[in-house]
Structure 1
């Protein structure tokens, strides 16, 4: 009884309010009522997933509630749940191991979204607690920084989007060559632009072009992932975005392939994904996901020496995928 009361109190204190995801509260662009409804449903589902994990007596117990979420939105519920568990693991005196159990159990098929959710927790935890973050996969752990970047652009839009702030000295336990973590954060910022711009593909392209040229490839990668995974635009809009991407089209396709792989791996395929991969990758979601599998680096934990210094296996993987769609 006391345990249930404690979990309810903990959830009440720590769970974000759904109103924080409303476009008018965030100051995001409203393209039309349908796009607004989609993005606010995504945000609300994320919060529901967070709350489910906060209230569950064990990480595995949250899955029953998460798996009742409609297919299109279920991945966002798992993202929110993983954030909650990572926050609990990161609180002083909160114990640990929740995230590890969740990743090894019900969240395993949703690993892409789960790692992104850990990045949300990273943004909410003090830096000295970042060592508590559990992201053991040496390849996918970079997605934590993607999630961090999304959070910062979503909640600190003025600084990260309009002022185009970037911390080139950003570091995180786990290493990586100087400057590369900031690039992965940019991929998350690009993903957030799909939400900030209300799925308005033309506005997204305008916004990306406001950033310095050297940042646009990573931003477009994030845009491609969000447009494919979340949806919200018609085929004509996506084709216009592809044209605007210009030389960065391969990275737009790379992000789209990641989105298809995340959906297929979790068995959450929905029609808008096929439309996006057809436009961005010129192929089906299944083929785009297969490219991701076929271009995996031989040693996911080992950087290779490039002309400008060490290149993480994650970046090698991304570039291989992009080259396939060039």
Structure 2
């Protein structure tokens, strides 16, 4: 076999050779010989190879004695560039690829030679086995029995760069989201969602967080403030479940304040959504006060909390209610349609902490148009499920006290809370469904329940109480109810962003349920 001679390369040419070596199977037709040469193959004399006119920046002309020594080295088969390779290893100037003692090319800056398996054969960069398992020319020259080829990935992964767990989700533009709305919010079956559960999940009250010092410590929240007794909420069998959900919310808030957002995933998976709702409140609070335009909130939505977009946007509304500001001032990096859930969170907060005014006197927040007030009432309806401690009969009586024009959205919020949070049996929920139908708002109750199903499906965690509540309220299973939200969302198109679009989304879910009942 004839060995192909190679010309010395310039610095620019060497860079090109290294760049070409990144792809598997992209080596040129002429391959660089390996560590062993077949018998009879003679190395071409140096005098037959034309010299390049370029030198690397660190290549200085050597004295005559050094050149003589280099000639002797070349005659012995060793590279005369060993000293320059050593300089590069010590952090010297960038060099072109150089030949080692075996005749193989060394990687600039490392002095190492790529290996072709565990046989010890050395090949040139880019001379690895092809994806089909064929042995390349360089391996034939090197000799030995090649090991089975390992298929190479089409896109090599840099271990220093964190992997994106959801290839469909990307940070949105600070002003306008460019990705289709349906791609961001569309649900998926729970079996397709990969969720990493902690080894030993804990209750929110047991999660130990370090309270920060200084100004950040002023934001720290006491979990006792959500106890139903001091708040004068109705007490019942579901008290512990509902109080634990509220504590999870404050724990998620404190985790962000303490700089330990990663600890949220240590909470029981069933309660994790409430914790991310609190994290959304904390990120929004800090973003508004520091005028970052929503940087922390954007990082949460595109990072650790990407599976809880609905809950995080609900938490945004809590922040504005606590700051006594109208959503969404100062926050740009949110979902163009889900941002309207902030008014839902606003309504829940007002009902929870300003109960006498919001529930007793039935006042709503001022300076709100009809659309915002409807979403506000949906959040207030969610709060009524907590206020009445998941007592179905008490919830029915409480809704009946409100004017007919507000009941539809209240029923929607009750359906969302009953499905997502739980606290009532299937028989009690069926009675709730009958009462909503008698009031003329069964479709609104279903719409809220479908919202909860969609949120649970996106998170990949569908607890037993959600599985039991969905047939009682919607008449279908969780996957089908969550699919209604996708169908209605896709029908809006890619540019859905206004309050009217959000209301059309809710109406589309109600229509999907109506068609299902008509066809069945």
Same fold (TM over 0.5): yes
Q: Decide which structure has the larger Cα Rg and report it.
A: 2
On the 8 A contact 2:484/2:513 being kept in 1, the answer is no
The equivalent residue for 1:12 is: 217
The equivalent residue for 1:47 is: 250
Q: Deviations over 1:254-289 (max 9, x none)?
A: 000000100110112101101111011111111111
Higher helix share: 1
The equivalent residue for 2:496 is: 301
Per-residue deviation, 1:104: 1.4
Cα distance in structure 1, aligned partners of 2:213 and 2:255:
10
TM-score (norm: length of structure 2): 0.56
The equivalent residue for 1:38 is: 241
Cα distance in structure 1, aligned partners of 2:484 and 2:426:
22
Cα distance in structure 1, aligned partners of 2:502 and 2:455:
16
Say if 2:386 is the partner of 1:195: yes
The equivalent residue for 2:341 is: 143
- 272 and 6 in structure 1: CA distance in 2 versus 1, 3 angstrom threshold: closer
- 235 and 318 in structure 1: CA distance in 2 versus 1, 3 angstrom threshold: same
Q: Which has the bigger relative contact order, CA under 8 A and spacing at least 6?
A: 1
User: Deviating runs (4+, > 6 A) in structure 1?
Assistant: none
Per-residue deviation, 1:43: 1.2
Does 135-144 or 85-94 show the bigger shift?
A: 85-94
Say if 2:470 is the partner of 1:267: no
- 20 and 197 in structure 1: CA distance in 2 versus 1, 3 angstrom threshold: same
Per-residue deviation, 1:149: 0.4
TM-score (norm: length of structure 1): 0.87
Residue of 428, 431, 436 corresponding to 1:245:
436
Per-residue deviation, 1:169: 3.4
Cα distance in structure 1, aligned partners of 2:422 and 2:322:
27
Cα distance in structure 2, aligned partners of 1:123 and 1:66:
23
Cα distance in structure 1, aligned partners of 2:331 and 2:292:
13
Which aligned pairs between 1:81-230 and structure 2 lie closer than 5 A?
A: 81-92=279-290, 97-127=295-325, 130-134=328-332, 136-167=334-365, 169-170=367-368, 178-230=369-421
3-state SS of paired residue (1:165) = coil
**Pairs aligned (count):** 302
The equivalent residue for 2:447 is: 254
- 135 and 153 in structure 1: CA distance in 2 versus 1, 3 angstrom threshold: farther
On the 8 A contact 1:168/1:179 being kept in 2, the answer is no
3-state SS of paired residue (1:312) = helix
Say if 2:500 is the partner of 1:312: yes
The equivalent residue for 1:289 is: 482
On the 8 A contact 2:294/2:332 being kept in 1, the answer is no
Q: Deviations over 1:59-112 (max 9, x none)?
A: xx61x2111111110000111111111111111567851111111111111000
Does 253-262 or 36-45 show the bigger shift?
A: 36-45
Per-residue deviation, 1:9: 3.7
Unaligned 5+ runs, structure 2: 1-208, 515-520
Per-residue deviation, 1:167: 4.0
Unaligned 5+ runs, structure 1: 171-177, 304-310
3-state SS of paired residue (2:462) = coil
Cα RMSD after superposing both structures? 2.1
3-state SS of paired residue (1:252) = helix
Per-residue deviation, 1:248: 0.5
Cα distance in structure 1, aligned partners of 2:358 and 2:348:
10
On the 8 A contact 2:284/2:316 being kept in 1, the answer is yes
